[in-house]
Amino acid sequence: MESRSSSSSRSVVMMCCVLMLMIAAAAHAGEQEAEECASPMSIEEACRGASETHHAVAYDHCVASLTADPRSSSSEARSLHGLAMLATRMAIDHATSTVCKMDDLAELEPEDSSSPSDARARFEHCLEQYGGAADLLRDALDNLKVRIYGTAMEQLSAALGAAESCEDAWKGDEGNIPIAAHDREYGRMAHIAIGFTHAAA
């Protein structure tokens, strides 16, 4: 009898635990849904706000860039928080593609140049800058996921320095920067990510 009673008690406890977990999960889902419903944000609204508070964000470019990305149609991208993460992911993509482009171009340059300011040295400088920026952006994304906006802002701002530093390496020869388009687009996306994160904080 005692064995049956003990077994029955354990079953009741297990059922209660399962029920509590289900209730907690439902409550969490409800909170997320309520949050999304309470503060929906379209790409146009987010870009308008960012362009008004950050002069480096161009409204038309912001809207065109985000809507062109397939990830913008996800449910996550329907809030300002989600758009900040999307813009950061896009900045990571641009940083990564810029690194690949520079790496390819650097391989085409001779290694035995005696000039410290040759093209290969410039590419290697930019590679180092963008590699570090990509790491900073990934860290910023991790902080955005848990809504640590202050730290994310600091990391996004620091990552923005890659474009400026790379451009400085080509000073005096600006018209011949082979990665100008990549460099410019990266800077634009980083500014958008900063604008969105600032507004979401």
pLDDT of residue 25: 45
pLDDT tens for residues 61-119? 999 999 999 999 998 889 999 999 999 999 999 999 888 888 887 777 766 555 544 77
Distance of alpha carbon 85 from its chain centroid, rounded? 5
Q: Using CA atoms, how far apart are residues 119 and 1, in angstroms rounded to an integer?
A: 86
Stronger pLDDT, 57 or 106, i.e. the higher one:
57
pLDDT of residue 20: 44
Q: Is the pTM of this model over 0.85?
A: no
* Residue 179 pLDDT > 50: yes
* Residue 57 pLDDT > 50: yes
Beta bridge partner(s), residue 79: 40
Domains and CATH numbers, the chain: 41-198 (1.20.140.40)
pLDDT of residue 54: 92
pLDDT of residue 176: 63
Residue 174: CB partners within 8 Å, gap ≥ 6?
Answer: 167
The whole-number average pLDDT for the span 121-144 is 91
Stronger pLDDT, 159 or 22, i.e. the higher one:
159
pLDDT of residue 163: 81
Task: Find out whether 166 and 193 touch, Cβ atoms under 8 Å.
Answer: no
Task: Give how far Cα 155 sits from Cα of 11, 117, 138, Å.
Answer: 50, 29, 9
Residue 201: CB partners within 8 Å, gap ≥ 6?
Answer: 149, 150, 153
pLDDT of residue 85: 96
Report helix, strand or coil for 1. Answer: coil
* Confidence category of residue 162, pLDDT binned at 50, 70, 90: confident
Task: Find out whether 143 and 88 touch, Cβ atoms under 8 Å.
Answer: no
pLDDT tens for residues 10-52? 454 455 444 444 544 443 444 344 344 436 889 999 999 999 9
Burial letters 107-126, b for 16+ CB under 10 A, else e: eeeeeeeeeeeebbebbbbb
pLDDT of residue 150: 95
Q: Using CA atoms, how far apart are residues 122 and 171, in angstroms rounded to an integer?
A: 10
pLDDT of residue 56: 93
